[in-house]
Each structure stands twice: as structure tokens, then as C-alpha cells.
Amino acid sequence: MAISDFNRDQMVYPSDDYKKDAYINNMEEYRQLYKLSIEEPVKFWHNFSKNFHWEIPPRIDDFLDYNFDLSKGPIFTKWMKGARTNICYNALDRHIHNGLGDRIAYYWEGNETHESRSITYSQLLKEVCKFANFLLSKGVKKGDRIAIYMPVTIDLVVAMLATVRIGAVHTVVVSEIMRLID
């Protein structure tokens, strides 16, 4: 169902207080951004990338290269060639540096109503650094590949962010999947 299919009386609009901190303020702005993302993806994503911290920023002329036509060679996509960042830094550190360390970074709710937990950016960074140091102490280094087998909890978020913080690559195998397979 498209957004245009909704009756305006059925839509719930955010309060003015909520909108003042929003990245997108109204549906028209959303539609313009969506159109730009389809018609000029390089411009859209290059503009969006300016919201992140970069060790080496992406250049517009090396931003996107791709081939989706097998008759022209192997299928590939290359994004932001030569650029370098750390996703963990962007997810945590930069928010702390901007004075948001005491704000909630992640809410977790379990399957039971009494299972819930939240963690601030500062608390999450502390946990991520502890686990990153543990991984380093076990010999994990940049470029290594790690499979994370855990339930979906804040600890999974910690493990994922710690892995990328040190430059390793991870894949997640959610432990609940084994119940579905059996």
C-alpha cells in the first residue's frame, strides 16, 4: 500500500516539538529526497555521507561505480572508492563528542514483558571498548572474519560494534534460528 492510498484522517502527525529535531520535516521533503535518491543516487548519497565522520572523505568522482549488465563483464558495485571511516566511531563516539553521551543509544525489549534494557551512548561505548580489547587479546585483528552466534540483545550490538571498531568483519547467526530449524 502506497502512502498516497491512506486517508489523511488515518495519518498520525508528529508534534511540533518532535519535528524540530527530525531529519525530514514533512512528506513533501521526504518525496523530494526519495526522488533524488532514484534519479541522482550519487548526489543523494554523497550529500547524505556528509553527516558522517571520515578519516578519508569520499570524493564525488569516485563515489559510485557499477555494472549490472552481465554482457559487459562481471556484475559489481563499488561505493566511495578510497574513502575510509569507522562505523563504530560514527555510531557512538561522534554522538558523545556532540554532547549526547547521556542519551539513550539503544532500547532492547525481550519476548517477555518484563525483559527490557536501555543503554546510553557513553555506557555502550564503554562496553564496546571492553569487548574490543577482549577480541584484541585473543588475537583478532583488522581484516579478520568473525561469526557472532548470540541472541538479539544489547550484548549482540556490543559484539557487532566491537568487531567493526577494530576493523574486523562480522556475520551474525541469531541463536534463535536453531529452534526454527529443529
Please give the residue range of the domain that contains residue 52.
3-79
- Summarised one tens digit per residue, pLDDT across range 4-29 is 565 666 777 788 888 788 888 888 99
Q: What cell does 18 get?
A: 518532535
For residues 107 and 75, membership in a common domain is answered with no
Beta bridge pairs of residue 173? 149
For residues 173 and 92, membership in a common domain is answered with yes
For residues 53 and 120, membership in a common domain is answered with no
Note the pTM of the prediction, 2 decimals. 0.77
For residues 37 and 67, membership in a common domain is answered with yes
Structural domain count, the chain:
2
Where does residue 81 fall: left (phi above 0), alpha (psi -120 to 50 degrees), or beta otherwise? beta
pLDDT of residue 91: 97
For residues 64 and 111, membership in a common domain is answered with no
For residues 139 and 155, membership in a common domain is answered with yes
